[in-house]
Amino acid sequence: MNFDYLNKMIEYIENNLDNEIDLNKLSKITNTNVFILDRVFMFLTNMTITEYIKKRRLSKAFEEIRNTNDKIIDIAFKYQYNSSSSFSRAFKQLFKLTPTECRKGIGNYKIIPIEYFETNKGKYNFEYKIKRMNKIILYCYHVSSQNHTDLIYKIKNLYQKAKRSGKYDAFNKSGMYGIFSKEYNVYHYYLGSTQYFLDLEKFEIKENEFAEFKLLSRD
């Protein structure tokens, strides 16, 4: 993974927090598929790109509410909230105080930091290689959505469902697979393994070349 591209993406996000940010634009900056980019970002930061953008917008809003005389509603609109109520709910959920309390100086100064990636400090260390794989038959849970953000939410619930059912441990024992695909503008995600389950959907990975990522360390 080229961390220079990721940092360019972060800079683009930071320069456009008061504008609509298209994930496809971020994909072009990093030269990476939108879904793969979001999964790598979640691996590195423990949050999706959408969650990161939301937190950075609220962080900038916190700064401006605390340090300027601009109207709170104007700040909310500036950072892409279409109502004061939705802004207040998101603000309180993140900072545990309302925008009005923030304006009054109540609570500690809180800023969500900008996420820059520094490889020279060894924070992230993984490698990948291209390998050819034979055809594999999997038995999977399956979710789909026409909206990428909704798909991420469904995937989180999918993993929780697998854990509740006990299949998550079974997947791990035989080798767990998470497969993303896009067909006719619909995103699909499959979670499963080669172990047969009667109640799960059959999915075939055709013989092809794939990129295999290996985590070496994570400080």
What is the domain partition of the chain in residue ranges?
A: 3-103, 129-218
The neighbour count for residue 63, using CB atoms within 10 Å, is: 15
Mean pLDDT of the chain: 86
Q: Which CATH architecture has domain 3-103?
A: Orthogonal Bundle (1.10)
Q: What is the mean pLDDT of residues 140-144?
A: 94
102: which residues sit within 8 A by CB, 6+ positions away?
62, 65, 66, 91, 95
Per-residue model confidence (pLDDT) at position 26: 93
Lowest mean pLDDT of 61-75, 78-92, 178-192, name the range.
Answer: 178-192
Q: Which residue, among 59, 61, 63, 56, has the nearest Cα to 13 in the 3D structure?
A: 56
CATH of 129-218 among 3.40.50.1000, 3.40.50.300, 3.20.80.10, 3.40.50.10470: 3.20.80.10
pLDDT over threshold 70, residue 127: no
What is the percent of the chain where pLDDT is above 90?
50
Q: SS3 breakdown of the chain: % helix, strand, coil, rounded to 5?
A: 50, 25, 30
Give the separation between CA 97 and CA 108, rounded to whole angstroms. Answer: 10
Sign, CA torsion 61/29/39/113: negative
As to burial, measured by CB atoms within 10 angstroms (0-12 exposed, 13-18 middle, 19+ buried), residue 139 is buried
